[in-house]
Amino acid sequence: MSTYNIDGVSEMMLHHCVLNKKDFLNMSAQELKEFVNEKIIEESFQIFVLTESFVDGEMKLEFKIGDGIEILSKVEYSEKNQLPAIQEDKIRLVFWEMLEDSNIEVDIPDNIKEITFKAEGNTYGCMDEWGNMAFEKYSFISNNKDLEIFFESESSGNVKEKIVYFLNSKGSCESISMNDNFEDELSEIKNNIYNFYA
């Protein structure tokens, strides 16, 4: 068994919940910030994101096990929104936090030379709009057999990304970053959501 770094995958902590429209509209920017921060600390769960980059004029996954030569890898990624429909007069919040550095490792038996990485993606209704190929469920397959291989991950550094998405029953979604303009952007989103339901 040997340990390899995984390139092209990042870790983030995500939470989603549903609020009554009235409760959301009555929340101040500070109350919403505190709500998001508390949920991320206490109730968020770990997900992963595949990374893409431009190579020769087209987007390609950066996924690689170790040096990419000793073990050849291929990725099979499928994606859909796996959350239930949103009821009228409800707002779904989906928010996540990603740190600057993700260190992800796997232990692989020494006789493995080729692996297929299968990830069952979940958009949560918005992750694809942000460009994130997010997933919780994944498996490693070699010679048509599932391998008992799991990520060992650790994140560090400053916050790279902290985003809040707001989705309603009519399929509209808006996002804001937890930055200095949070209060102004939240006010605009509330006006938009109010108009959606007017």
User: What separation in angstroms does the CA of 26 have from each of 30, 45, 86, 194?
Assistant: 12, 27, 20, 12
Mean pLDDT of the chain: 89
Residue 198 has pLDDT above 50, yes or no: no
pLDDT digit string, tens, across residues 88-97: 889 999 999 9
* DSSP of 2-40: EEEEEESEEEEEEEEEEEEHHHHHH--HHHHHHHHHHHH
Entry pTM: 0.87
Q: What is the pLDDT of residue 197?
A: 52
Q: What is the pLDDT of residue 130?
A: 77
Residue 18 has pLDDT above 50, yes or no: yes
Q: What is the pLDDT of residue 55?
A: 67
Residue 45 has pLDDT above 80, yes or no: yes
196: number of Cβ within 10 Å? 15
pLDDT digit string, tens, across residues 145-164: 999 999 999 999 999 999 99
Q: What is the pLDDT of residue 58?
A: 76
Q: Which of 138, 180, 186 is nearest to 165 (CA)?
A: 186
pLDDT digit string, tens, across residues 115-147: 999 999 999 999 887 778 999 999 999 998 999
